[in-house]
Structures are given as structure tokens and as C-alpha cells.
Amino acid sequence: MRFTVIGALAAVVIFAATGCSWRDTGALPGAVLRVGNGAEPQELDPHQVTGQPEHRILGALFEGLADIDLTTMEPVPATAESWEISPDGRVYTFHIRQNARWSNGDPVTAHDFAYAWQRVLSPKLGSEYAYLLHCIRGARDYNDGKTADFRTVGVRVPDDRTLELTLDNPTPYLLAMQTHQAWFPVHRATIEKFGAMDERGTLWTRPGNHVGNGAFMLAEWQPNDVLRVRRNPNYWNTAKVRLDGIEFYPIDNQQTEERSFRAGNLDLTSTVPMHKTAIYRKEHPDLMKICPDLGVYFYRINATRPPFTDARVRRALVLALNRDEIANNVMKAGETPAVSLVPPNTGGYTSRAAVKYDPETARALLAEAGFPGGRDMKPVEILYNSSDAHRIIAETVQRMWRDNLGIDVRLINQDWKVYLSAVNTLDYDVARGGWIADVADPVNFLECFQTDTGNNRTGWSSPEYDSLIRASYAEPDNAKRLELLQQAEAILLDSAPIIPIYIYTWKFLQSSDVHGLILNPLDLLRWTDMWIERGKGGAR
């Protein structure tokens, strides 16, 4: 993506120097957190986005029924002040706070959540994360268009402050999922002022139109420059919010972002350039934060495009990749090789199936598929969103496939929005992917690759795989449930629509002016916990 570096950084300097008010320029007074966001957000509609750059902004603008205590990783009340769970674990009754308000002052009610969930599940909206709500009774049939009557879905609103949710099966991680944007409420009057409930890309998400229920509200959005939010005075817990606002800068060039941090223009970065990690670990360990991460970096393979329709070709690409070299010699920040999709010990689960580095078998498979020594095989294109790290990894993969398989590999980089469009429409050969867990459960990784889920994006389909994932949803015995997931992951890895590469670490730079940030394996930034004390050392 292109980023107007000069314009964005100049804006920071001008606002700091002039002390302009919100009314004058949109600049934030007082305690303002300046964040490198890594990419320009695709959209600010919680039901239409899938990426980390969007999720962090939406976490400031919206709030779900429950939140997570980042110290204990246990659910805590948020917009719902309390809840009860039936003895069989299938019925949840939530009680909405009486003082919960939208940013325009309207009350947040149980109807807002019911409306939002109907919207997410509406077939026409095509929400990529609709499957997260399929645990609700009747939700899958409604999402699949088998019924148009939302009354068949297990969502009831006895009164404005009571929301009753009936599930098909016990879902022990339901409360933890409430931090995900797919479960966030939306303001019905605002949605329908600018279009239909299930219409995509309307103007309701723009400054002056946007209404949210989070701790912050949208103040300014200059695409490819800066997005500013300010404290929402109508938020139910605004008295405890210590930041006046947050400025998100979409700097996709990691070196530019790091230089901006060193110049004191950013308080947090989205990551750390690979060639700088050793320097920061040695010379500025107080500024670089590294945390074990429940996430995996992988490549998708377009299983609908020849020759990748042949599983032998896909497996050859998997076997020809040396993950140890990438994790240990390229990344160098505690990353570990990924031999499965699900990271080890995720919710007590570690995959028994594993991919390996075996170039000899890879060459044999490619020859068997009709491409001995890579002859007669068209050039393979690797698509990645613009980033130095993604480029370096792609160049390493390019070399390995050339040396081990004899194939020609070409690299294509695109900005975040264009890249997302290409992956969503299967307009690629091989594409960079990544997944940070929404909840600490293996099914959160594996359910992505069911045939009809929006996050599959490979064109790969396996009825047996789909059946095992669905059976896992219905299995009350956790040991048996994990065994079903073991069988499913073995199918996925053997069929090879994806190439696991390494297990993430969460790494970023944090100014000593920033306080209250709690590291956690889900990469969650809790803006309401954080505050700024300028003049305590800064980024330099």
C-alpha cells in the first residue's frame, strides 16, 4: 500500500506545535496515543472486515457483551453487566447495562445485538466471519439461505436489557468470542439511514456518520494518512478511560515506521523490522516487546487453479520448504517452525500430523504430477501484501522452490486492500496468509478451512473434513472432540491447500511514555487499560 509519509508525520508535528483543538483541525488534545497500524483499514464496519489492522481500530470504536481480562485471560463483563448459563451450557442470558450508550447518546439495548447478529448472518451481506455465529441454534440455516425467518434462530429479546441466546451445542468459548468484531452490535438507525441492513460499502462508517458503542468515537479519517478517534463521553465506563484519543497511522513500510518511532512520532509500532530485532534486543530491550503468540504464518495455495488442482503439486511445494531456516535464520525473534496449522498446546491440543522438509520426496511428487525437475510447469506467483518482512520471506521461499524443485517463482506485492480482494476472489497462485487466534481453541484455526467459510480463500473443499469439524461442534466430550479435530487437521495437511511456515511471536516497539499495555497471546490491545505520561523517556 502507498502511505503519505511526509503528510502524516508533518501533521503530527503541526498539531503538537499549535495545540489546535478538535473543532479547529481534528487534532487530539492531551493524552493521545500514536499508533503505527501497519496498513490502511479496509473498512470500519465490524461485520465486513477480517484483518488485524481493522480489528485494533474496531476495538476502540465498539464493545461486545463480554471482554477478556488480559492477565487471567478469563471473560469479564463489558456491555453486558452479567449473565447466566443454563446447566446444560446451551442457553446464555445476558443483562445489558442500564447506562450503556451509543456514541450519539442513544441507549444500547438487547435489540441492537439481535439486529447485528441478524445482519452478520444475512446471506446477502456475505460476512466472512458469519460462521463464528453458527453455534447459535438455527444460525447456519439462516446464513445458508435455507430459511428467511430470523425467528427460527436462537436469539430472543424478552426486554430492552435482556438477551437470550440458545446454542445448538455447548460452546465453552462463547464468552471469549465476544471480543471479536463479528459479535459487536451496530446502531440500526445509522445503518438504515445510509442503506439496507445487508448492504455493503455504504457511508455509515465515515466520519460524521459513524456511531459506535466503544470507549472511543471516530473523529477523522484521512485515507492512507491518519485515522483519529477521541474519547466517547457517552461510553458507560468513560470515567475510567485515561486516553483522550488515539491516532492510527497506516505505515506499511516497517523501516519507515521504525524511523518514525525513533523520531518520537509514534508511541507504538505494529511490528519490528527483521534486521532491527537483534539491535533492539541488545541495545534497547526496554523498547522492544516480544510475547509468545497464538498464531501461525502460512501460505495459501489456490486449489482451483491448475496445476495446483493436483494435490501432488501442492504437497511438493510444502515438502520443499525449510521452515527451520526461515524461523531461525530469517525471523530471529523467537519464532518457531510451524509443522501444523494449529500451534502446539492450543487449548490442550497439539497436532499429531506434521509437515516436514523433504526435498527428495517433493521432487518425486512433482515428477509424478508431470513436471520433472520443474519442466513444463508455469511460473508460480507468490502474492503478498506490501511489507519488507513478507518480501524477505517470499524471496527465501522463491530460492528454496527454485533450488529444490527447479521451478520459476515470481513475486507480486499489493497494498492491503488490493491484496485482500485478490485473495477473496481466488485471483492468485500462492498467497501469504496468517491467523491469530480469536479464542484459545484449536477449532478456531481449523474451522476456517471448511468449504463455505469466508476465511477459507483457497477453493479447497473436503466433505470429510467438513463433517469432522461439524461433528466436533456437537461432541460434548472434550477428549473425543479433540480427536475429531486431530483427524480433520491430518486431512488438511495431507491435502495441502496451505503451507504452514512459522509460529508467530508478537513483537513491537513501545515508548516508555506508554503505560498499562498488557502482553497476551491473542495480540489484544486494550485501549481502556492504557495511558500516556509524556516526558518519561520517550521513544529515543
* pLDDT tens by residue, 466-501: 999 999 999 989 999 999 999 999 999 999 999 999
pLDDT at 221 over 70: yes
CA-based R_g, the chain, Å = 23
d(CA 458, CA 300): 6
Q: Considering the chain, what percentage of its residues have pLDDT values greater than 70?
A: 94
The pLDDT score that the predictor gives to residue 332 is 82
- Give me the residues paired with residue 166 across strands: 91
- Among residues 26, 71, 69, 63, the alpha carbon closest in space to that of 46 is found at 63
Q: Considering the chain, what percentage of its residues have pLDDT values greater than 90?
A: 89
For the chain, domains (ranges, CATH) are: 5-60+214-268+510-532 (3.40.190.10), 66-191 (3.90.76.10), 293-505 (3.10.105.10)
Higher-scoring residue by pLDDT: 538, 364: 364
- How many C-alpha atoms does 476 have within 13 Å on its Cβ side? 7
Quick one: pLDDT band at residue 388, thresholds 50, 70, 90?
confident
pLDDT at 5 over 50: no
User: Quick one: average pLDDT of 258-268?
Assistant: 97
Helix (H, G, I), strand (E, B) or coil at 57: helix
Instruction: Name the average pLDDT for the chain.
Output: 92
The pLDDT score that the predictor gives to residue 536 is 56
pLDDT at 9 over 80: no
What amino acid is encoded at 293 in this protein?
D
User: Quick one: average pLDDT of 364-368?
Assistant: 98
pLDDT at 374 over 60: yes
Quick one: pLDDT band at residue 117, thresholds 50, 70, 90?
very high
Higher-scoring residue by pLDDT: 366, 540: 366
Instruction: Answer for the pair 169, 135: CB distance below 8 angstroms, yes or no.
Output: yes
Instruction: Answer for the pair 302, 458: CB distance below 8 angstroms, yes or no.
Output: yes
pLDDT tens per residue across span 410-440: 999 999 999 999 999 999 999 999 999 989 9
Quick one: pLDDT band at residue 3, thresholds 50, 70, 90?
very low
What amino acid is encoded at 489 in this protein?
E
pLDDT at 296 over 80: yes
What's the 3-state SS for 58-87?
HHHHCCCCEEEECCCCEEEECCEEEEEECC
pLDDT at 533 over 80: yes
Least confident of 12-26, 162-176, 196-210: 12-26
The pLDDT score that the predictor gives to residue 21 is 31
- Among residues 2, 524, 534, 511, the alpha carbon closest in space to that of 252 is found at 2
Grid cell listed for 145? 439461505
pLDDT at 7 over 50: no
Higher-scoring residue by pLDDT: 107, 15: 107
Instruction: Answer for the pair 427, 292: CB distance below 8 angstroms, yes or no.
Output: no
Looking up cell 504430477 gives 369
pLDDT at 239 over 70: yes
User: Quick one: average pLDDT of 135-159?
Assistant: 97
d(CA 524, CA 516): 13
pTM: 0.85
